[in-house]
Structure 1
Amino acid sequence: MTENVVIHIVDDEEPVRKSLAFLLSMSGHAVRVHDSATAFLGVAAGLRQACLITDLRMPDMSGVALLRRLRDAGQMLPAIVITGHGDVPMAVEAMKAGALDFIEKPFAEDVLLDAVGRAVAELHRHPRDGADTADVRQRLDQLSERERQVMRCVVAGLPNKTIAFELDISPRTVEVHRANVMAKMQARNLPELVRMVLLADDTIS
């Protein structure tokens, strides 16, 4: 599946680039590293069998801006965004710009490798399967109105205490609704829930 596919890593921090490159290389992936979004854009036009891993916050251009540039130029690749804690709202913007996944730091190696596997698989499944959208909408229909409210707040990156204040309910009640949302949506983690909501074009606020 990974034959001839090159994983491009864009990060301004050399230790991060080296660490990611080593992990992916040892897992059998071909890798190229770039120290800035600008450097990557210089080669993006000629890429075909390629996936992208980009940091969200970089000095020359953010990961969101990079994805928007690629999208506008018709050069979008299956992309994974790596984000620090507190960047969830920006990561959601990245997914709206076309990112396939986002991963919060610190992350386990298998989390990254699983995301890369999905990105590589995405190269072989365009357009997206319409059945996926129908399935997600069916799950959304199972949510109560309160659960939908909590879900939108969660996807927007709000912590439980803020959600409790916004909806005038207790933090414990938020936890219960949040757990119900994850169970009904069959989402294993926050990035997966975000993907589902964006796939179904559900309102995010």
Structure 2
Amino acid sequence: MDEERIAYVVDDEAVVRRSVVMLLDAAGFKATAFESGESFLAAAAAGLPFGCLLLDLRMPGMDGLAVQREPAARGIDMPVVVITAHGDVPVAVQAMKLGAVDFIEKPYDGEALLRAAGAALAGGAERQAQQREAAEAAERLALLTPRESEVVRGLVAGRQNKEIARDLQLSPRTVEVHRANAMEKLGARSVSEAVRLALVAGIAAPAQEG
């Protein structure tokens, strides 16, 4: 595969850890097992590559829900698939409200677990890419002057230069200058590209007067 698929298995039962790791390894994942939530969090705090977290909910000490809350608080962003006992769906639903992307019931089906892990990794990688894109767009937007930002907001609202000029009480020529400067700073070759960057960065259009 072009890109390594990594998975972390957190379960207090050694037999479960071994079976899940064997299943993942056979499917081309690089799997690492942890016997407790505390041991996983310690390793994650020291630095772990991006991967999918396969997390048992029922563990002594720090249970799965407690483990799930910690990564976000520590800035660890990994997709989570929770593994829970049969009939424990309410707890699994609670885990999904905390951000888990899927849950698998014991005794789990191997193919279902692999599908869930693969989908979680793909979705997590896409989310990280979107976050990077948004951060990069925000950095470019931060280069704009306040007036250039106002002009870009007008473009996001779909307004023409004359309309933006009227709203900002500027001449159309001045708006054209601000627009050209903004597009140069953003590295945008077209208005549509500038608008897309602004939207990615979370820039909202000004409220329409009405």
Q: TM-score, normalised by structure 2?
A: 0.58
Shift of 1:127: 6.5
Conserved 8 A contact 1:81-1:102: yes
> Which digits, 9 at most, give the CA deviation of each residue in 1:52-97, with x for residues without a partner?
0010100011111101011222213111100112311111111111
Q: Distance in 1 between matches of 2:37 and 2:55?
A: 8
Unaligned runs of 5+ in 2: 131-210
Q: Residue 11 of structure 2 corresponds to which residue in structure 1?
A: 11
Q: Distance in 2 between matches of 1:44 and 1:57?
A: 20
> Which digits, 9 at most, give the CA deviation of each residue in 1:94-129, with x for residues without a partner?
111111110111221110010011011023211699
Structure 2 counterparts to residues 45-64 of structure 1, below 5 A: 45=45, 46-64=47-65
Conserved 8 A contact 1:10-1:33: yes
Q: Distance in 1 between matches of 2:100 and 2:49?
A: 17
Secondary structure of 2:59's counterpart equals coil
Shift of 1:4: 2.6
CA separation of 1:85 and 1:2: change in aligned 2, threshold 3 A: farther
Q: Residue 43 of structure 1 corresponds to which residue in structure 2?
A: 43
Secondary structure of 2:4's counterpart equals coil
Conserved 8 A contact 2:8-2:32: yes
Structure 2 counterparts to residues 116-195 of structure 1, below 5 A: 116-126=117-127
CA separation of 1:110 and 1:94: change in aligned 2, threshold 3 A: same
Q: Return the index of the structure with the highest Cα Rg.
A: 2
Flag as ranges the 4+ runs of structure 1 deviating above 6 A: none
Letter in 2 for 1:78: P
Q: Distance in 2 between matches of 1:87 and 1:29?
A: 27
Secondary structure of 2:126's counterpart equals coil
Conserved 8 A contact 1:5-1:29: yes
Q: Distance in 2 between matches of 1:48 and 1:29?
A: 13
Conserved 8 A contact 2:81-2:120: yes
Conserved 8 A contact 1:53-1:82: yes
Shift of 1:36: 0.3
Q: Residue 81 of structure 2 corresponds to which residue in structure 1?
A: 80
Q: Residue 94 of structure 1 corresponds to which residue in structure 2?
A: 95
Count of matched residue positions in the alignment of Structure 1 and Structure 2: 129
Secondary structure of 2:25's counterpart equals helix
CA separation of 1:127 and 1:31: change in aligned 2, threshold 3 A: closer
Q: Residue 66 of structure 1 corresponds to which residue in structure 2?
A: 67
CA separation of 1:61 and 1:85: change in aligned 2, threshold 3 A: same
Conserved 8 A contact 2:53-2:81: yes
Q: Residue 156 of structure 2 corresponds to which residue in structure 1?
A: none
Q: Distance in 1 between matches of 2:62 and 2:128?
A: 29
Letter in 2 for 1:23: L
> Which digits, 9 at most, give the CA deviation of each residue in 1:167-194, with x for residues without a partner?
xxxxxxxxxxxxxxxxxxxxxxxxxxxx
Conserved 8 A contact 2:5-2:28: no
Conserved 8 A contact 2:81-2:104: yes
> Which digits, 9 at most, give the CA deviation of each residue in 1:9-55, with x for residues without a partner?
00000000000000110111101010000000001131232110010
Q: Distance in 2 between matches of 1:2 and 1:29?
A: 12
1:30 aligns with 2:30: yes
Q: TM-score, normalised by structure 1?
A: 0.59
Secondary structure of 2:24's counterpart equals helix
Shift of 1:8: 0.5
Conserved 8 A contact 1:8-1:50: yes
